[in-house]
Amino acid sequence: MSLLEVSDLHTSFFTDEGEVKAVNGVSFTLEKNKVLGIVGESGSGKSVTAYSILQILAGTGKIVSGSIKYNGQELVGAKESVMNGIRGNKISIIFQDPMTSLNPTYTIGRQLMEAILLHTDRNRQQAFDRAVEMLKLVNVNEPEKRMKQYPYEFSGGMRQRVMIAMALACEPDILIADEPTTALDVTIQAGILELMKDIQKKEGMAIIMITHDLGVVAQLCDEVIVMYAGGICERGTADDIFYHPCHEYTKGLMRSIPTAKTGGQRLQPITGTPIDLLNMPKGCPFAPRCDAAMKVCIQRPAPKKQLSDSHAAACWMNEKNTIKKAVEE
Amino acid sequence: MREQALLQIRNLKQYFPISSGFFSTQYLKAVDDISFDIKEGETLGLVGESGCGKTTAGRTILQLYKPTAGEVIYRGTPVRTRQEIAAFRQKATMVFQDPYSSLDPRMTVADIIGEPLDVQNSTENKIARRERILELMDRVGLNSEHAARYAHEFSGGQRQRVGIARALATKPDFIVCDEPVSALDVSIQAQIVNMFEELQEQMKLTYLFIAHDLLVVRHISDRIAVMYLGRLVELAEANEICDRPLHPYTKALMSAVPVPDPKEARKNKRIALNGEIPSPLHAPKGCPFHTRCPYAAAACKESMPQLEEIETGRFVACHRVREIH
């Protein structure tokens, strides 16, 4: 049994202009001790997938169908009391912006202790000790003194460390990190990523890392899911995705990032504009921007094809290549 | 003979007054005594962490802020008087970071692009103005049908194209690009980066390209300057500075860049820095970097190192640069 099993998840936002299918049939599993990266551009549904797991969607958002199983327990349709026992306790989340996710009117200590008091049997003194221990774990200097300070007295990197401490205080099985380092400078980002990797190894939890930065994925992730327009186009190990991408979108992404070798040459961008979720094409959602698009791509969505034990992609090009190979033989 | 620099920045300072009490005024030294040249036709990348003064430097060069001290010399003539500044602003423009807030939501695309033309009175009549706007839109890959639309109808990438068309309206030869691709998705980012390069070739433009994404800066720049706490710490040719950084801060910065390549990433060669960037209000005495520098010696706490050319075209501000590399 997998730690987390998401199958055929559909999440929509019901707006005045119509139904926006933000997540459109997403299925994946997460195993213990693994770091799973979810990459995609804005509007690809990566954050909404995470918010669906925790059921913290904004007002108009709703899980339409599908199943999310945590240790075999169904979360879709679960009572709020059940979800309260899961959120922050079994599955925690760190948000992108450490400036706005802390309450400016409470001390760091009070905010850290809140989750511990809520989810464990510890008394106030024990909760305080645990909070100090967590701050030490995330390398905050003078933790006892810092407990009494307010968020404005912390820098961006330090606040994100506090957020990580808070998320890990109840020893969750799964940590969801939604763009945790996007708002930070590279030198601070490198420190936070290293810290997450260390703690993940020490505590043995699973991480879902949501990001648009392929560099971050390469640093941290064992496995990667690439999302486009609410669906998964490709899933594989980090090496599969970076060295043998098998979906035209993933290939396009890899070609479009500048590297040390691209100086003096033109980049190879993906043409066109991002997809309009209110106006989804009938076939493969990437077809309108795909240079290799064939007739079938416009007509029908591509089926998921298992390429190896770890690697799967939903792209008609793979079918074409199979047929081509068969013909040649 | 040395080629003539398009712009010479000389001892430029930008201090912002911060009231701290009844009688005393404290100054935030956002840009503190920077000097460098920008050669005609090149792209000079300017990098550094948030708060290092890179945006302020760009704006002060364009005279959007009145410099506290120092001067900007354009094609050999200092830009000082109001007339000189007005003339300079036709030739030097800016592309902003955020394509969402830098375009007026109540103006059509045509008016946004046309505004610099109106301010400068550079078109004779309405027909000429319209033609010029359509020509600019065509240059940046916008459809002429989009002229009557409003900014909110466009995606981030298209808005940034509008911002670039506006910057090109007065036929400038120097553009300050302040984080122009940071807010865009990777797939769109590449389109805009390519467009910057194409426009540069076609129109002989010179860029000061400010960004924190070092991979993008390395790709587009001929030379790169690194700032720390308002001061320039290193300036060199792009590949040189990325592959063989000399200043300890540049070394740490380059090692922290997340490389999009899992095999490289596993090698883990990051140089960790102690602590965080100090507040520019309380910049340390001596070398601004000494509080976090693994090589700091007694001299670094006492005196400020000056930017000196230690190899041809390679400028570093570090007391110990000859010992440590």
Residue B270 contacts A where some CB pair is shorter than 8 Å: yes
Residue B203 contacts A where some CB pair is shorter than 8 Å: no
Residue B157 contacts A where some CB pair is shorter than 8 Å: yes
Q: What confidence score (pLDDT) does residue B148 get?
A: 92
279-298 of B, contacting A, C-beta below 8 A: none
Report whether A233 contacts A300 (CB < 8 A): no
Look at chain A and count its residues: 329
Arithmetic mean of pLDDT over chain B: 90
Task: For residue A291, list chain B residues with Cβ-Cβ distance below 8 A.
Answer: none
Helix (H) or strand (E) holding B176: strand B174-178
A99/A106 Cα distance (integer angstroms): 14
Residue of A nearest to B49 (CA): A185
Residue A17 contacts B where some CB pair is shorter than 8 Å: no
Task: For residue A157, list chain B residues with Cβ-Cβ distance below 8 A.
Answer: 276
Picking from B214, B264, B276, the nearest residue to A186 by CB comes out as B214
| C-beta neighbour count of B137 within 10 angstroms | 21
B269/A208 Cα distance (integer angstroms): 25
In Å, how far are B86, B109, B147, B199 from B129, measured between CA atoms?
20, 13, 13, 21
Token pair of B232, please?
């320039």
Q: Chain A interface, mutation test: which of B54, B195, B202, B219, most A Cβ atoms within 10 Å? A: B219
Three-state SS for B261?
coil
Q: For chain A, what is the HEC assignment?
A: CCCEEEEEEEEEEEECCEEEEEEEEEEEEECCCCEEEEECCCCCCHHHHHHHHHCCCCCCEEEEEEEEEECCEECCCCCHHHHHHHECCCEEEECCCCCCCCCCCCCHHHHHHHHHHHHCCCCHHHHHHHHHHHHHHCCCCCHHHHHCCCHHHCCHHHHHHHHHHHHHCCCCCEEEEECCCCCCCHHHHHHHHHHHHHHHHHHCCEEEEEECCHHHHHHHCCEEEEEECCEEEEEEEHHHHHHCCCCHHHHHHHHHCCCCCCCCCCCCCCCCCCCCCCCCCCCCCCHHHCCCCCHHHHHCCCCCEECCCCCEECCHHHHHHHHHHHHHC
Residue A194 contacts B where some CB pair is shorter than 8 Å: yes
Q: Chain A interface, mutation test: which of B161, B185, B229, most A Cβ atoms within 10 Å? A: B185
Residue of B nearest to A266 (CA): B194
Q: What confidence score (pLDDT) does residue A160 get?
A: 87
Task: For residue B252, list chain A residues with Cβ-Cβ distance below 8 A.
Answer: 187
Token pair of B108, please?
């059509």
Residue A263 contacts B where some CB pair is shorter than 8 Å: yes
Instruction: Indicate yes or no: CB of A253 within 8 angstroms of CB of B189.
Output: no
Tens digits of per-residue pLDDT, A223-269?
Answer: 999 999 999 999 999 999 999 999 999 999 999 999 888 877 889 98
Q: What confidence score (pLDDT) does residue B120 get?
A: 80
Tens digits of per-residue pLDDT, A43-86?
Answer: 899 999 999 999 999 889 999 999 999 999 999 999 999 999 99
Task: For residue B214, list chain A residues with Cβ-Cβ distance below 8 A.
Answer: 186
Instruction: Indicate yes or no: CB of A242 within 8 angstroms of CB of B262.
Output: yes
B129/B125 Cα distance (integer angstroms): 6
Is residue A29 predicted with pLDDT exceeding 90? yes
Residues of chain B below pLDDT 70: 1-3, 268, 325
Residue B201 contacts A where some CB pair is shorter than 8 Å: no
Q: What confidence score (pLDDT) does residue B3 get?
A: 60
Tens digits of per-residue pLDDT, B41-80?
Answer: 999 999 998 888 999 999 999 999 999 999 999 999 999 9
Task: For residue B281, list chain A residues with Cβ-Cβ distance below 8 A.
Answer: none
Arithmetic mean of pLDDT over chain A: 91
Tens digits of per-residue pLDDT, A123-156?
Answer: 999 999 999 999 988 888 889 999 999 998 888 8
Residue B258 contacts A where some CB pair is shorter than 8 Å: yes
Instruction: Indicate yes or no: CB of B215 within 8 angstroms of CB of A259.
Output: yes
Distance of residue A83 Cα from the nearest chain B Cα, in angstroms = 33
What number is the ipTM of this complex? 0.84
Three-state SS for B32?
strand
Instruction: Indicate yes or no: CB of B256 within 8 angstroms of CB of A219.
Output: no
A145/A124 Cα distance (integer angstroms): 17
Q: What confidence score (pLDDT) does residue B253 get?
A: 93
Distance of residue B261 Cα from the nearest chain A Cα, in angstroms = 6
Task: For residue A239, list chain B residues with Cβ-Cβ distance below 8 A.
Answer: 262-263
At A190, the pLDDT band (50, 70, 90 cuts) reads confident
Is residue A204 predicted with pLDDT exceeding 80? yes
- At a CB cut-off of 8 Å and minimum separation 6, what does B11 contact? B33, B34, B35, B69, B70, B71
Instruction: Indicate yes or no: CB of A260 within 8 angstroms of CB of B190.
Output: no
CA-based nearest residue to B168, from B128, B122, B125, B213 = B122
Token pair of A119, please?
């989810």
Distance of residue B322 Cα from the nearest chain A Cα, in angstroms = 24
Q: What confidence score (pLDDT) does residue B1 get?
A: 37
Q: What confidence score (pLDDT) does residue B325 get?
A: 66
Task: For residue A254, list chain B residues with Cβ-Cβ distance below 8 A.
Answer: 260
C-alpha angle B255-B258-B260 in degrees, rounded to nearest 5: 130
